[in-house]
Amino acid sequence: MADPAPKLRIDKWLWQARFFKTRGLSAKAVSSGVRVNGLNVSKPAFNVGPGDVLTFSQARQVRVIKVVALGERRGPAPEAQQLYEDLDPPQPRSEDDVPPVQRLEGNSRPTKRDRRKLDLDRGRALE
């Protein structure tokens, strides 16, 4: 009987491929929703292997990644980039996406009221 294809937990693979800084963050991202070959997955223990296509959100972007290899450790970035093929590379951010910082009059330090207003404006810009 042939051995089944090697598999690795999806949260561990995302962490090893350096999509997330910690394994906890990658598990949280999987819990919030990841697609593997078009199938919705919400459990970090789901196994992935070479050839699987992952779709997930990362830093306000949707990433589409094809698993090429399984890693044995979380190595440096060049080593991690060999674990996947980016099917939809992220677009570079333009300067139009980021609203300019507004300077306030006076001592240039915002009051509590001004800071709340700035936070609301930033939240609307993200939507």
Q: Is there a contact between 34 and 54 (Cβ–Cβ < 8 Å)?
A: yes
Q: Is residue 56 part of a domain?
A: yes
Token duo for residue 66: 């094809």
Q: Is residue 43 part of a domain?
A: yes
Tell me the average pLDDT across 97-112: 67
Tell me the average pLDDT across 28-53: 94
Q: Is residue 48 part of a domain?
A: yes
Q: Is residue 107 part of a domain?
A: no
CB atoms within 10 A of CB 93: 10
> The domain spanning residue 64 has which CATH number?
3.10.290.10
CB atoms within 10 A of CB 66: 13
What pLDDT shows up at residue 103?
61
Choice among 8-17, 36-45, 100-109 with the minimum mean pLDDT: 100-109
Share of the chain above pLDDT 90, in %: 58
Token duo for residue 87: 């099917």
Domain of 84, in residue numbers: 1-90
Q: Is residue 102 part of a domain?
A: no
Q: Is residue 30 part of a domain?
A: yes
Asked if the model's pLDDT at residue 56 lies above 90, the reply is: yes
Q: Is residue 86 part of a domain?
A: yes
Q: Which residue has 């590379």 as its token pair?
A: 89
